[in-house]
Amino acid sequence: MFDAQEQQAVVREDDQALQQPIIRQMVVQLRAMDSYGTYDTWSDARVLDPLVLTKERRKAIPVVGDPDETTISRVKAYYNALAQLVEGETGLLAVPVINITHEGFGRALILVGKLVALDKTLRDVHRFGFESLDALAGEAQKLVDKAVSLVNGNRAVAEL
């Protein structure tokens, strides 16, 4: 299984992507889930580094495998961050609902009122990650924009 400690960090401390709203929210969510205080002394870049899967890192992860709790917490942090951004843009409470089987398959939903603003099928969760922080931010922004558009187009349902 991939272990960020065993490989050289790919996220630089001066990476401009660290200032993007989704990336800032990811740091908040990951630190909030760290009940043992492991991240207390870590820089934001170090906290986010395991989310960046270069080609070499991806090759080190088996094609078939079960996700560990750390990987599942990263997935949850990602969808929590998306929900926070949707909530910030719409002014309505957005709630992430995530169901992942022990085999790494499942679904992530973001609910706003009675509206399903985001519905994402999850596969191969043990390989969850992005090519770069910019790729993470780009994908997240697409999902947030889609969800916000859906909420704004169906405001009556979202306000129930």
User: For residue 43, what are its two tokens?
Assistant: 């820089």
3-state SS class at 9 = coil
The structure's pTM equals 0.87
Structure confidence at residue 15 as a pLDDT band (50, 70, 90)? confident
The residue whose two tokens read 């706003």 is: 112
Is residue 92 pLDDT above 70, yes or no? yes
Axis crossing angle, helix 69-90 with helix 21-33, rounded to the nearest 10: 130
- pLDDT computed for residue 105 by the predictor: 93
Structure confidence at residue 2 as a pLDDT band (50, 70, 90)? very low
Share of the chain above pLDDT 70, in %: 96
Tell me which residue of 79, 67, 87 sits closest to 33, measured CA to CA: 79
The pLDDT tens digits of the residues spanning 25-64 come to: 999 999 999 888 888 899 999 999 999 988 888 888 888 8
Distances (CA, A) of 103 to 27, 62, 109, 126: 26, 13, 19, 9
Is residue 91 pLDDT above 90, yes or no? yes
**Cα 61–11–108 angle (5° rounding)?**
55
The pLDDT tens digits of the residues spanning 97-135 come to: 999 998 889 999 999 999 999 999 999 898 898 999 999
Distances (CA, A) of 155 to 73, 111, 151: 31, 12, 5
User: What's the first-to-final CA gap in the chain, in angstroms?
Assistant: 43
CA distance 23 to 89: 16
pLDDT, averaged across the chain:
90
Domain boundaries 14-158, corresponding CATH code: 1.10.3100.20
- pLDDT computed for residue 7 by the predictor: 62
